[in-house]
A = this chain, B = another copy of it.
């Protein structure tokens, strides 16, 4: 199909559709077919024609463009019993996208080729708490630059990138409205400085949203509608509907950490009252578990908590139970509001799942009976690196959906 035009043109103005749009749309269709073929298999032009409904002639012509743009490449032959073997096509592994992440205690960058393979990856520990945005971005830029040049030596060209940040972002503007744990407020990031002179530029993501996208690609069950909840210092979330991230009108949707789960509860860092985060965030759990972890790093805190849980310490167990119950209340509400009844636990929720699961299920049963089956409560399939991979994957996907952006 085609494309354009926000539906309507008031006296304002809108985009007309012309024949060229058909080509753009079909380029994306063909490229999408190549990308979606079972990994390992490299479809031939004929198979693509079959999958897309386009004629062989059209596919040939479209494939020619994609080859010229360097987005795909031909790879060996593809015998099928009788007849002339097809020429395999695959996403060009010589082109990559940079996933980048700023988190509380590290920065990282990874080159991910168009097929989704991590080519190079570097992590640098760095205490970013209350560090202004400029120096952090500068450090990340040098890290990314190093990864980029190493990739270049291996013959891999970086086309663009995606940056994940733990905070409320305005993706379009490249602005971080607020990132409590970094201490950033209304930070306008100079994203282009991270990867100078790339055709695709750098996109900005909320960390949990990016991780949700990574989850989407790596889910063994192939789920296309779910809520990803990420337990971190706070509680983040990403909503995936129809294999698309649901961002809401301004790009801030999915902030499940601030669903009210206890109207009589305590003050939240957001200024609200009784938010999920005040019960199920890391600091809240540590405090309720009676663990003194003021200066400790997050990972140290988590392993201390785990030990306490494995030792069966009552306060730790009840703190996690309480978090599970609160999470259930929040998820009961999201099931109704966005009609999603499948949840993926990430961050510390994934680590705590053995202790969290039962109270969570009971809570869901109490507050939203019949909405969630136990199988719909799952644990993240991607680990720590979810945000990184998701940011890169999302940029790759946007390229696959609009390949004409590369000269073609």
Contact = CB atoms under 8 A, between A and B. Distances in A.
Nearest to A33: B9
Contacts of A261: 260, 263
Contact of A259 (B37, B239, B243, B333): B333
B14 A52 contact: yes
Contact of A53 (B2, B16, B25, B249): B16
The listed residue with most B CB atoms (<10 A of its CB), out of A9, A51, A53, A329, is A9
Contact of A263 (B35, B251, B367): B367
A329 B262 CA distance: 10
A225 to B, nearest CB: 4
**Secondary structure type dominating chain A contacts:** loop
A29 B14 contact: yes
Interface in A227-286: 239, 241-243, 246-263, 270-274
Nearest to A333: B259
B272 A367 contact: yes
Contacts of A332: 258, 260, 272
Contact of A249 (B38, B225, B337): B225
Contacts of A58: 16
Contacts of A37: 10-11
B17 A272 contact: no
A36 interface: yes
Contacts of A53: 9, 13-16
A336 interface: yes
B22 A26 contact: no
Nearest to A58: B16
Contacts of A17: 1-2, 21-22, 25-26, 29
Contacts of A13: 51-53
Interface of A: 1-19, 21-22, 24-26, 28-29, 32-33, 35-38, 47, 51-54, 58, 224-225, 239, 241-243, 246-263, 270-274, 329-330, 332-334, 336-340, 366-370, 400-401
Closest 9 CB pairs between A and B? Answer: A248-B339, A8-B32, A271-B369, A255-B336, A253-B339, A17-B25, A1-B4, A225-B249, A16-B53
Given A7-B400, A252-B336, 4 more contacts: A1-B5, A3-B4, A5-B52, A10-B37
